[in-house]
Amino acid sequence: MTAEHSALWQRIEAFTFDEPGAVAPFSARLAREQDWGEPLARRVIEEYKRFAFLAVAAGHPVTPSKAIDEAWHLHLIYTRNYWEKFCAQALGRPLHHEPSRGGAQDEAKFAAGYAQTRESYARFFGVEPPADIWPAPGGGPAVKPGKSRWRKWLPFVVISGCLPGCSGAAEGPLGPFDLSGPDFLVFFAWFAPAVFVTALILRWWMRGPGTPLVRQPELAESDPYVVAALSGIDQVLGVALTNLSSRYLLRPAVKSRVIRAEGTLPAGAPGIERRIHELADHPMGADLEDLRAAIKDLTANDVARLRQAGLVLGEGAAERVRYVPFMVALFVPIVAGIKLLIGLSRGRPVDLLIVLGLATALVSVRFLRRTWRTRAGDALLAEWRQAHKPQKRRLPNGTLSGADGAMMVALFGASVWPLAVGSMYDTLKDDSSWSWGGTNWNSCTSSSCGGGSSCGGCSSGGH
């Protein structure tokens, strides 16, 4: 290393990610959200430091492994720590995260970039990168979750442990499954509601506290884009379309569900609106998928603020909120199915069991619906909506003005969009890809090229 590189590494190595007195320290949160033990999380953090060093010193674009990318994603949520301390003080320059656009060409580019990053790691640090955190291209997956993964399965184990206890309700080796038809229906009448209520309570509890973890005075409802981010990317897109169409800067194309740009965007327009107007200015226009993909990275700062305040769920937490209660609820149709098979083997009528099994299976599947906000996020959005209810009741029959329309769309979504965007609503309302508040915000997935992340790496330099 040169003297400049040594000074850079000393600053990075001395950097502390865990703020004193933090409610959710970085290292503990990384371990919890990724289901790693804290020792593994701290190792990943140290490797993340080395990756950041390479981003500045290597002289070429660098690509992280999947584990490093998870640490990077989480660090971006701690916006002040990341931009004002880590980038400004430790690195001495911004370090931007650039997601992959997908496709075979990008996959090949980032696979090559990942291999080059591993080579630079060995050149600067004099050792090969640890294989469990930096797997070789085409090799095995990145680090596997630690022992804390058992927590995901705890509710499933608890409920399964309760099932043998149900056998005390009847004599015989099959417990409740050996009950006569009428007696089993009595058992099922209390068993099914008990399990579903347990799953509901579990889902409610897993969505976090009902009050924000971090108070952020700057998180004001005056910005419709922050408000919309509480509901999902389609709500953000709806706000942007409202602002642009109300100023006659966008128009729906005739006989096709695409949008075209008109006029000139004023100076100082938000980045999201500039990106949409630029795409819609193409001769072929732009459809919703184009626009949704284009603005995703521009919403990162708003989402990070909401996540740091405890108002929206992290990627791992959102998946657990779906699947853990679902696995609990799934015991109900499983029990009905087992009894149905026993009934068939004994030549008993099973029509009612078929109905019960199908009905409870449909109820169980409902637990798989996606959720984005925490309970604190729900409470805050409800508070904002309540404050704007008088304004909503006074909505005119015509098109809303830009500022009012944008805030109404941010708060109330599809129910006010026809008033906010007029003819554009008629053009886009039948688009099957459109949803309000149900869009997944995850911007990248693991790459098929081995250990590299498809988020594409980074660029360092000015804004």
Q: Summarize pLDDT for 279-332 with one digit per residue, the tens.
A: 888 877 777 777 777 777 777 777 877 887 788 888 788 889 999 999 999 999
Q: Which helix (H) or strand (E) holds 97?
A: strand 95-97
Q: Which residue has the higher pLDDT, 15 or 289?
A: 15
- Those residues whose C-beta lies under 8 Å from the C-beta of residue 303, and which sit 6 or more positions away, are 229, 312, 441
Kindly report the pTM of this predicted structure: 0.53
Instruction: Identify any residues that bridge with 97 across adjacent strands, giving them in sequence order.
Output: 458
Q: Which of 103-117, 139-153, 226-240, 414-428 has the lowest mean pLDDT?
A: 139-153
Q: Can you say how many angstroms the Cα of residue 235 is from the centroid of all Cα atoms in its chain?
A: 15
| Both tokens assigned to 51 | 């990756």
pLDDT greater at residue 46 or residue 276: 46
| Position 208 confidence tier, pLDDT thresholds 50, 70, 90 | confident
Q: Which residue has the tokens 């409870």?
A: 360
The yes-or-no verdict on residue 151 having pLDDT over 60 is no
**Structure-token match 């500039």, residue found:** 274
Q: Sorting pLDDT into bands at 50, 70 and 90, what band is 414?
A: low
pLDDT score recorded for residue 196: 96
Q: Is 34 helix (H, G, I), strand (E, B) or coil?
A: helix
pLDDT score, position 461: 44
Q: How many CB atoms within 10 Å of residue 63?
A: 32
| pLDDT of 199 over the 50 cut | yes
pLDDT average, residue stretch 200-216: 75
What is the 8-class DSSP label of residue 167?
Answer: G
pLDDT of residue 78: 81
DSSP state of 373: B
The arithmetic mean of pLDDT across residues 368-395, rounded, is 82
